[in-house]
Amino acid sequence: MRNHEVAWVFQRIADLLEIKGAPSYKVRAYRRAAHSILALPRPVEDYHAEGRLTEIPGVGKALAGKIDEILASGTCRLLKELEEEVPPGLLEMLEVPGVGAKTAALVYRQLGITDLDGLERAARDHRLRTLPGMGGKKESNILHGIALVRRRPDRLPLGVARSLAESIREALVRSGLAERVEIAGSLRRWRETVGDIDLVAASPHPEQLVEVFTALPICEEVIEKGPTRARIRCRPVGQVDLRVVSGDEFPCALLYLTGSKEHNLRLRSLAQRKGLKLNEYGLFRGGERLAIACEADVYEALGLQWIPPELREDAGEIEAALRGELPRLIELDDIKGDLHVHTTWTDGTADILEMAGAAAELGYSYLAICDHSKSLTVAVGLDEKRLLEQKAAVERYRKRSTEPYLLAGVEVDILADGTLDLEESVLAGLDVVCASVHRAFRQSREDMTARLLRALRSPVVRVLGHPTGRLLGTRESCDIDLEAVMEAAAAEGKILEVNASPERLDLNDAGIRMAKAKGCLLAINTDAHGPAGLRDMRYGVGIARRAGVTPDMVINTWPLDRLLAYLRSAANT
């Protein structure tokens, strides 16, 4: 349960250190430790009790001492000192796209700006452009970013909400007071953002379980509390609701609390037509509650196939279930490899062997190394010479290990005019070329569409990476004629990426449905920059399931021989 709390403190320390201009290695150390703690398979308290904190990647003796402080008090002395030294409004500025810690520190020191309102006034008064390294374009981009932040709905991104919900669920299970605890609501339906987090538990001790829930260390405020339900606000963000029911009530309570509201209304209507009554307490005929062991029993009683939670939006799923025509949706176990990961050759945190080892732990048959290309200087992108050196390193690994099979690839930048960042003669020798946009996001619709179409016409490009360029909640999708891009991808035999990074989820479920309609093939990739990132695959699979994707539509569900044959044939067309 404390993993989120410790990681949040470390992330906040990193932000504050960066604003203060601390050495970059110190900032990176706290960020890396926070990332490692969030990715732990067990509670951080276990590592602490066993004296094994320094075995966590990125955690040395000094950081282990700070974890000890946080577990004892919920904070640490360094965080308190930094919060006293840095105005809190500067952290809010970091949410604005284009405003990093250096920019926040600059406007604070030079202009005395301490909050978002002050930053907006300075930009509108054209005072930002007077600062070193700033100009009219940067000023305009900051105003655009502030507007985006102000329009942002008060909702949690899927990645944040899911991780938090799973931590709380685990804490409730570990209490020993619950027979079952499940995530419900829009989070169970894998919506890309959620308004709050819903949990439902079956327990013979509801009041005791509610006490455990409201006493969680991450609880900042108890909003509501009763004998069978409670609502809390968590630190750093998020409202969480718990509903406790009996074991007999659990299946229908889970169904009801999962939603959507529209889906539930349709189910209740079907039940009424069959002389039944369906609500959160059970399925009834007259005054008798029918024996229901699981959600599937409810759907069967209503003459329906079981409908996966991701499809429960009253978007045609009930009609399909009545006809028995719901497809077998893709599952995480169908994924046989990841076709877009990064290493320390550019901006990754692990080398090729470490990434391969992490992929092997997941049971993957293959892994494509796709580091950045040279124009992305902030990531120390590969030029042609270094790319060939990396390819040779990948081929040496193949001779030493059979699984996962490493594919030599690159994430090549699509430049503003649609040309590629590296020579096609070099790219042609790779197994996978993933082409992506990383700059000039605000081109006109006509220019951005032409840019992507030109890249798709290149014979060496196999995959279009994160096609719309969005960052969830911080950068809007590029203005693109997505339909035209998808038609070209289908015609050229190119693959569209579903980027599973919870910061992107690009394509989203609406985009995936359009891609399906156009006959496009997909690749669900994590864009992982370290071993923990490989586990983000579940987010991409969840979003794909919402769009009704089946395994055959996704090339990284294919066995290695079929995948290689397709990539090689595509390269020769």
Give me the residue spans of the domains in the chain: 3-151, 157-323, 332-571
Q: For residue 215, count CB atoms less than 10 angstroms from its CB and return exposed for 0-12, middle for 13-18, buried for 19 or more.
A: exposed
Report pLDDT for 181.
98
| Cα 295 to Cα 305: distance, rounded to the nearest angstrom | 11
- Percent of the chain predicted with pLDDT > 90: 68
CATH top-level class for 332-571? Answer: alpha beta
Report pLDDT for 249.
97
Own/partner long-range contacts of 144-150 (Cβ < 8 Å, ≥24 apart): 144/97, 144/442, 145/96, 145/97, 145/98, 145/99, 145/474, 146/96, 146/116, 146/119, 146/120, 148/96, 148/97, 148/474, 148/475, 148/476, 149/95, 149/96, 149/116, 149/474
Report pLDDT for 312.
97
pLDDT band (50, 70, 90) for residue 57: confident
CATH top-level class for 3-151? Answer: mainly alpha
Q: Do the beta carbons of residue 545 and residue 308 sit within 8 Å?
A: yes
Q: Which residues contact 453 (CB under 8 A, 6 or more apart)?
A: 418, 484, 485, 488
Name the average pLDDT for the chain.
Answer: 92
CATH top-level class for 157-323? Answer: alpha beta
Give the lowest-confidence range in 5-14, 244-253, 260-269, 553-562.
5-14
| Cα 315 to Cα 317: distance, rounded to the nearest angstrom | 6
> 318-332 pLDDT, tens per residue?
999 999 999 999 999
Report pLDDT for 236.
60
> 442-484 pLDDT, tens per residue?
899 999 999 999 999 999 999 999 999 998 877 889 999 999 9
pLDDT band (50, 70, 90) for residue 282: very high
544: three-class secondary structure by DSSP: helix
- Residue 15 confidence (pLDDT) above 80: yes
Report pLDDT for 522.
98
pLDDT band (50, 70, 90) for residue 379: confident
Report pLDDT for 137.
84
| Cα 314 to Cα 299: distance, rounded to the nearest angstrom | 14
Mean pLDDT of 2-31: 86
Q: Do the beta carbons of residue 56 and residue 2 sit within 8 Å?
A: no
> 129-152 pLDDT, tens per residue?
989 888 888 888 888 888 877 776
398: three-class secondary structure by DSSP: helix
Report pLDDT for 248.
95
Report pLDDT for 237.
66
Instruction: Look at 141 and 552; give whichever has higher pLDDT.
Output: 552
Instruction: Look at 496 and 24; give whichever has higher pLDDT.
Output: 496
Mean pLDDT of 57-75: 88
Give the lowest-confidence range in 127-136, 302-311, 504-513.
127-136
pTM as predicted = 0.84
Report pLDDT for 386.
97
- Residue 36 confidence (pLDDT) above 90: no
DSSP assignment of 291-349, as one string? ---SHHHHHHHTT-----GGG-SSSSHHHHHHHT-------GGG--EEEEE--TTTT-S
- Residue 287 confidence (pLDDT) above 90: no
- Percent of the chain predicted with pLDDT > 70: 98
